[in-house]
Structure 1
Amino acid sequence: MLSNVKPVVLDVILSSTCHGIPNIFKSTKSALKFLWIFCSILSTAGCCLLVFQNIAKYLKYEVTTKIRVKNDYIATFPAITICNINFFTTEKATELLPFCSEILTPSSLDDYDFQIKFRNCLEKHGLMEQNKSIYGDSKKKLINGSWFKNELLNLKEFVYFYHSEYGNCYTFNSGVLQNGSHVDLKKMARSRRTDGLILILNFEIDKGLLEYPSELGGIIFIHNQESSPYSVTGVLIGTKSTANIGLKRTFAKSEPKPYSECDGNTKNPESHESELYKLILAKNGYYTQAFCIEQCYQKKLSQTCNCTEFMIPSVFDKEPCDLYGKCYQHIMGNFFTFENINKECIDLCPLECEKQTFDQTISAQTLNGTDHYSVVYIYYDSLASTVVEESPTTTPADLISSIGGVAGLFLGMSLLSLVEIIEVVFRLIFILFDRQIFTQRNSSVLNTI
Structure 2
Amino acid sequence: MFRKRTFTLLKLNRRTSFLTKYDLHIRKDDLQNTSFRNNLKNYITDHKYSLAAVKIYGNHDLEELEVSETFSETTFWRFALYRVKENVGNSHCLEETVKYLGTRSSTMFSRGYDAIERYLKTKGGLQNSQEDTAFRALKKFYVNKEEHENRLMMLKDLSSEEQVAAVISQHLICQLLPFPSSYFMDNIHTKGPTDKCPCGCGQPLNFGSTLLGSPHLFHGFVDGVLIPAENHSITEENYTKSAVFTARKKTDDIYYHCLVNKEWMDKYESTVYKLDEEILNREYKSEINVIDEKQLCKQAIAMSLCKYQEQSNKKDSSYAPAMPVFGMTSDSFEVAVYDPVHDYLLKSNKPLNFFEEDSQNLKFSSVVDLWLLIYHSLFFTTPSPRVVHQLRGTANLIPQLGEKRFEKIVKSSRWMFLPYFHHQSFPEIHEGVIKYVDRKEDASGYKH
The bucket for the TM-score relative to the shorter chain is under 0.3
TM value normalised by structure 1? 0.23
TM value normalised by structure 2? 0.23
Higher Rg of the two aligned structures: 1
Greater RCO between the two (CA within 8 Å, min separation 6)?
A: 1
